[in-house]
Structures are given as structure tokens and as C-alpha cells.
Structure 1
Amino acid sequence: MAPAAAGEADVRPCSTNSSTSGAVVERCFNRLKQWRGIATRYEKTAESYRAAIILTSLLMWA
């Protein structure tokens, strides 16, 4: 893509799907962070941390 001329605005096409799906993912992470154990990562192993995220996600979805 050629650079914009001095008087033109730099307009780039974007997909609305990617921005809306990104917003959904961002809101999900923000809701996960509200759970104290997830935000501070109290679990010692990656396996138990993953289990806590899955459990919290299921509770949010239900």
C-alpha cells in the first residue's frame, strides 16, 4: 500500500468481525480477572491454574 499524500487521510480498511470478536475476548478476560484467585494466580502449578480458569469460565457461562 502506498503512503498517503500530504493532504489525504490515512484510511485503512478493517474487518468489523475481527474488532467485535476481539472485544468479546477482552470482555471475557476482564470478567475472569474479577475472580481474585485468577487475577493473583494463587495456584502453584499450571495445571491447577488452568483448571481454575476452566471452572470460572463455566460458571460465567452458566
Structure 2
Amino acid sequence: RRTIAANGAPVLDTLRQQGAGMLQSLVHASGLARLPAGRRIARGDAMPYYDFAHWLA
């Protein structure tokens, strides 16, 4: 889920659910982030984000 930090910067929050019910998390998602394969993601890393609102406009 994308939120806005106090400084106005966009922030991606992870949805913690994993396992068989993982797709249920998409109900709460506002978009998708593209994560590079095999790379650890650290807080503050920039990554491509695809907002569902742009796809549905």
C-alpha cells in the first residue's frame, strides 16, 4: 500500500500476509511494486511502482 510520509514523500508499506491466503492481500493494495529478483530491499530503496488508479482511469 502506498502512503505519504510526514515529509510528503511516497512510501510503500508491505502487506505481511504470506502463504495460501497471500492473494487476499491484493484487496488492500493500491498498486504493485516491481522488485528486482534476488536483491534484498532495504527501507528507503527506490523502486518502480504501478498505481492501480492509473490503470483504471
TM-score (normalised: structure 1) = 0.22
Higher strand share: 2
Taking CA–CA contacts closer than 8 Å with sequence separation of 6 or more, which of the two structures ends up with the larger relative contact order? 2
TM-score (normalised: structure 2) = 0.22
Higher helix share: 1
Higher gyration radius (CA): 1
